Amino acid sequence: MAISMKLLLRLVLLLVLGLGLFAAYLVVTPAPIDPVAWEPPPVPEMTGPLAPNERMVGATLLAAGKIDGPEDVETDAQGRVYGGTNAGEVLRVDGEALEVFANTGGRPLGLDFAPSGALIVADAKKGLLSVSPAGEVSTLVDTVDGVRLGFTDDVAVAADGTIYFTDASDKFGFGDHMLDLLEGRPHGRLIKYDPQTKTSTVLARDLYFANGVALSRDESYVAVNETYRYRISRHWLKGPKAGATDVLVEGLPGFPDGVAQSGRGTFWIAMFTVRNAAGDFLAPRPLLKRMVANLPRALWPKPAPYGLVIEIDEEGKVLQSLHDPSGDSVHQVTSVHERDGALYLGHLHRDRISKVSL
């Protein structure tokens, strides 16, 4: 049956009215964020060492379908591979065997072994933890300077046992990281924990989602990813700049998640995804960000399924990059761990650990 022009106009008017009322609702409804404007840097050209390639296509998959969300990956002296899960478990992969090494009761993210043999765990919900070789879990710290750790994210242990870790956001907890992005304010901290005195010291405050952390090879500085500013900052521990914080590399082509020392005097950067045009458009527009924060999460901008890791030197120069442009084999990389000529890649939202030969 044909629709009359008058009825069609009424339907269009009703649709416009409905959209207007919905937009008004998004504007006047209190939002869970207090957003500010900022202007993202230009997207770098993907040329030279950043040029797309297919070096991660066909990656080997470890524990595929059996490990839920191994955000960070670590190996022990025997070559066994560890990763945390959404269920709070730290799983250990030994060849074809998979076993539960420990259960933190929270959400284990960053992992690193201490000289004592303990596995140090940055648990998003429980704080900074230590797991003995027998799998016994103990809490090292869950509150720093009177502020509870809101999102303990990553950890790096120095040769003397000193622990450096990040509190990604003391306002938005695990699962609410997109709200931190939309708000655009610095809620992150870089913290040092001394196992001898059992004391914690905040080294750097006001970081924009303090994510991955790694030490330079000579341990003169600690690098920390500021995911939502597309950069890696550097806090000096030794030398004439000791105590100062500056930028190691900025204007990255995506969202840096984990960062790891290669053992060769370089860093590997795990890129969760490439830059998002919708995100860059929203960044300088607080009103639109408030409206997006009030939308159902299913309608929020989605990360592109692009696999990318980048190697830089200790001065921040890009040396090489590994890609999976389609994301069919590897995407949403959250950590990189180099061992014996291969990269072990963690994925927050996937059910495998990826292994890529160098």
User: What is the β-pairing status of strands 143-144 and 147-148?
Assistant: antiparallel
Q: What is the pLDDT of residue 1?
A: 44
**Which pLDDT belongs to residue 299?**
86
pTM beyond 0.75: the answer is yes
pLDDT tens per residue across span 70-99:
999 999 999 999 999 999 999 999 999 999
The pLDDT, as a whole number, for residue 27 is 58
Give me the pLDDT at residue 20, please.
Answer: 55
CA geometry: angle 292, 185, 249, nearest 5 deg: 110
- Amino acid, res. 240: P
Q: What is the pLDDT of residue 31?
A: 83
Report whether 172 contacts 151 (CB < 8 A): yes
pLDDT at residue 106, as a whole number? 98
Calpha distance 291→273 (Å, rounded): 23
pLDDT of residue 3: 59
pLDDT at residue 300, as a whole number: 86
Domain range summary for the chain, segments of one domain joined by +: 31-357
Q: Which of 47, 41, 73, 45 is nearest to 320 (CA)?
A: 47
- As averages over each run of 10 residues, the pLDDT of the chain (358 residues) reads 59 58 61 95 96 97 97 97 98 96 98 97 98 98 96 98 98 95 97 97 98 98 97 98 98 97 97 93 94 90 93 98 96 97 97 96
Largest interatomic CA distance in the chain: 82
Give the whole-angstrom CA distance, residue 5 versus residue 330: 51
The pLDDT, as a whole number, for residue 120 is: 98
50-89: string of b/e by CB count within 10 Å (b at 16+)?
Answer: beeeebbbebeebbeeebbbbbbbbbeeeeebbbbbeebb
- Decide if domain 31-357 falls under CATH 2.120.10.30: yes
In this predicted structure, what is the pLDDT of residue 19? 55
